[in-house]
Structure 1
Amino acid sequence: MSDIIELQRRIMAAMDRVASGLGELSGSGGGDAATQQALEDEKIVNAQLTERIRMLSQRHENDMTKLRETTESTQAQLAKLDADLQKLRKANAQLSQSNQALRDANAAGVAEPHLINKAMMAELEALRAARAADISEANTIIAAMTPLLQDAPGGEPAAAAQAKPEGDA
């Protein structure tokens, strides 16, 4: 960005010097018709270059804004994926503890219904956490792939958006 601004500043300074030099030539009244036409042509080219620089700067700013938005969106999705994976790890640890307690009770020959219920609840929580992690992972992949598919020849962004899985239902 600073390179574009520096180049723009240098071009504008050069164009100002040319304009002031041409102004001195035209003010002296000694120019002929060809010189006057060349001066007008240079002014037109100068205006075109100025407009092109303005458009390039604006396009660059738009691209940077889109890039920032995409980065923020991706970071939010990665944070959600990380949270879902943490829940999955916690649920799996609870499931392992419940299963170990159930195995110990079974080895002792003691049938404990509350341990069976606890193990089943832990297993259900682990399944829910795994599903949430899978959905977050799929959403992150879709978000990363959508811009690539849009840029591809014949890419269909609408199809990619329709394939996005829904949240917890």
Structure 2
Amino acid sequence: MSDITELERRISAALGRIGAGLDLLDQGAGAAPVASTDDNELASMREALDAERTANAQLTERVRAIREKQETMVEALEKKVGRLTEQLNATGLELQRQKELNTELTEANRALSEAAQEGVAEPHLINRTMMTELEALRAARAAQVAEMEEILSELKPLIGEVA
């Protein structure tokens, strides 16, 4: 990109010098007749000017194409970052839920253990433990599903490219 900028600067400088030379020739033409060598020089300067304009137009087109490509890539990357952020947030929520349920399950199991050590069978503790364990299994399953969706979302573009 810096090469293009440098080339544009050089072309602009050359165009400025050629324009200044043409202005001097136009001023000198009114004061005295122009010699044939000046006509040849003027023709070569005009050819050089046309060549520089062509080169400038080509460079301008290349810069425009590069900018369009960059904008397209940036848009695609922004979409991908947004999608990955959503997936990360969903996975984070599922993991947080799983941690909370595991803590609750640990407490329920501790209470059930204490009741068993005392020789007292507490049906509500057993029920609470079973419900918490079931909910923890559901949270683990939801985390697995979120992880699978994340993997599939990464594979879908690759499958599309292969197809």
Q: TM > 0.5 between the two?
A: yes
Give the CA RMSD over aligned residues: 2.8
Specify the code of the residue in structure 2 equivalent to 1:61: E
Query: TM-score by structure 1 length?
Result: 0.70
Specify the code of the residue in structure 2 equivalent to 1:112: E
User: Any idea what the Cα deviations from partners look like across 1:10-47, whole Å, max 9, x if unmatched?
Assistant: 33322222222333455637346565445423322220
Equivalenced residues, count: 149
Structure 1: distance between partners of 2:61 and 2:54:
11
> 2:51 aligns to what?
41
Specify the code of the residue in structure 2 equivalent to 1:11: L
Q: Max radius of gyration: which structure? A: 2
> 1:110 aligns to what?
120
* Residue of structure 2 aligned with 1:69, choices 59, 63, 79: 79
- Residues 1:103 and 1:85: Cα distance change in structure 2 (over 3 Å): same
Instruction: Tell me the SS of whatever aligns to 2:162.
Output: coil
* Residue of structure 1 aligned with 2:12, choices 16, 23, 29: 16
Q: What is the deviation of 1:134?
A: 1.0
Q: What is the deviation of 1:122?
A: 0.2
Structure 1, gaps ≥5 residues long: 157-169
Structure 2, gaps ≥5 residues long: 26-37
Give the fraction of aligned pairs with identical amino acids, expressed as a percent: 34
Instruction: Tell me the SS of whatever aligns to 1:110.
Output: coil
Q: Select the structure that is richer in helix.
A: 2
Q: Is the 8 A contact 2:108 2:129 kept in 1?
A: yes
Specify the code of the residue in structure 2 equivalent to 1:76: E
User: Any idea what the Cα deviations from partners look like across 1:58-103, whole Å, max 9, x if unmatched?
Assistant: 2112212322332232223212212211111111121122122223
* Residue of structure 2 aligned with 1:155, choices 150, 155, 162: 162
Specify the code of the residue in structure 2 equivalent to 1:92: N
> 2:131 aligns to what?
121
